[in-house]
Structure 1
Amino acid sequence: MNKKLLLTCLFAIAVRTAFSQTAFTPGSLSVLRVGDGTATLGTAALPVFIDEYSTSGKLIRSIALPTAFAGKNKRLTLDGNTPSVSSFEGLLSLSQDAKKLSLAGYDAAVGTDAVVASESDQTNRVIGVIDGAGNVNTATALNIYSKTYIGSAVTDGNNVWVAGGSANIYSTTIGSTDATSIIGRSGRSIRIFKNQLYVSQSSGLVGPLVTIGTGLPTSAPQTAVAVPGITINGTSPTGREFFFADINPNIPGYDVLYIANTGITDGITKYSLIDGSWVANGTVKGQYTGLTATVSGNEVTVYGIKYGATSSELFKITDNTGHNGSISALTRSVLAKTGANTVFRGLSLSPQKP
């Protein structure tokens, strides 16, 4: 076999290996990491990884998102540390059936300067979808959110909803190059709970967490409705990832809600549903981006990402205060920290194979 043919075969094997991974460990955590430790966290595009951790903080493996074209897969990179932007990006969402993990980024080469300010017709915004077997799909490339950030995406298995920095929330499908604006409102974390689309928002005065339409809408016009009882802390909402839990058997549906906020006085705030309205149950102060949780009886283990422009932490909080119990006195237990020139952003339970 001549050298050129050998190199071609080795490259094909490497591409196939890179984007067809082994299955995620049941019950593990998926953390989005920006940076590989070599380049400074600045305004340039950096490589993105999904780090799989055990719930005790052991690193199981890392999945690299593409930094070069591979078949239909596009590149997916993220900003390193653009002020007032980086905490909006790299948020994660798990599909309702827990089979697919979604994220969003830029079809830009590593090192592309000022990637957030790029024109989206030249630098498409890309949706990444990773299934429970570890297969990565970055074929969804969209001309949206020009000159601003793309924050997050969520899928129901085929349809995808996307939130970002301009006044539009979009609907599309996996592999598409077109997207439909369903409402004129910017957003940060976008997730699905019990067949309802929710988004933490950064525009408007409706509230820090809103429903978008009824169910899972794919066409315009839709209406944003505030989750009842939750007011904006300060002058603007700072909500990032959020999680609903059902711990009180006497209340139908979800009755506890946790929201991660980057405003330090907002912290991680817990709410409980009382007579149809959400009532605040205290705050663990700090700046946070990622959040997910597991529920066992009336105990909730909250996992989160403590935000930092150049460093961050994966941690857990054990909330055994139950429905309508305050979390203000609870403390964080750090599970992992980032190294030099790397930062965590989003957090989710890992996708699982059927």
Structure 2
Amino acid sequence: MKEYMGNLKKIKFSVLDLVPVAEGSTPRQSIKKSVALAQYAESLGFERFWISEHHNMESLVSSATPILIGQVAEATKTIRVGSGGIMLPNHAPLIVAEQFGTLETLYPGRIDLGLGRAPGTDQQTAQALRRNRSETVHDFPKDIGELQTYFAKENSNAAVRAIPGEGLDIPLYLLGSSTFSAQLAGLKGLPYAFASHFAPTHLHDALRLYHQNFEPSKQCGAPYTIACVNVIAAETDEKARHLETSLQQLALGIIRNTRKPLPPPVKSMDGLWHEMEKVQIQKMMYYSFVGSRETVEKELSAFLKATQVNEIMVVSHIYDHEDRLKSYEIVGSLFNG
């Protein structure tokens, strides 16, 4: 256990927040809770607080991601704040450069720009977001290059410029749940974050391909990897497993396409899901670490040993706000205790 503790203390821990709406809560209350979570994460020593872009989901209110990042950055002092991520195909690169240039101008040295190529929503909503833009897999690398151009000092004589944004040091991160973005991040010399919290299948292949393809860049001289995982920690294993039923119900709504606000925990999932649904959800949530401090410590340490990632990003779908804060407190004690 001492060896495990030493390993966990050597890496960075961060937070991914989807700004969930708990059943019986309002969007305004949910945003305030996320801001409070960011403040608490800062006090615990977490490295960064990322917010993900999602649309047309009554269970999440993170659609206007840059605005929420600004709210969190304004309410905190030292923790890095950013996107996990901005779904770049939904936006013109110039708009993203201007928005994050403005954020970096207001909160210098604290803004991260994580980029994904998924729509963050269903196809019909994606079409409404993109209007007449038709994105293919080949457009994502091009859009990243365009974004990097807008941030470059050398773009100062161009006909189209990002102001503010030009010349600012805003680190880019590529996000992914498959091997495509892993290879692309390696070739571009950018840090890579894998969404193992909901898409565990290709984690190890993606990390391997990232390292194999990595070419040093101005931003990143050596490979840097982040793995996002679900963590639900509590005083006992039994309580943590009880809290986990909220996440399981949320996942059930995803596979049934009946998405609703995060429900309170239940005594048992028996009778709520069919056996095949149970298997599917367990597979989807494979990298979920649920239990007491000792249980989570042991399992996270084994995960770190197996992946050798540089940073673990934690997402916690917990119905009660105080229970969610307690879970992050327990995680914080693993790397900062």
Q: Please identify which structure carries the higher helix content.
A: 2
The TM-score with structure 2 as length reference comes to: 0.30
Q: Pick 1 or 2: higher relative contact order, CA cutoff 8 A, min separation 6.
A: 2
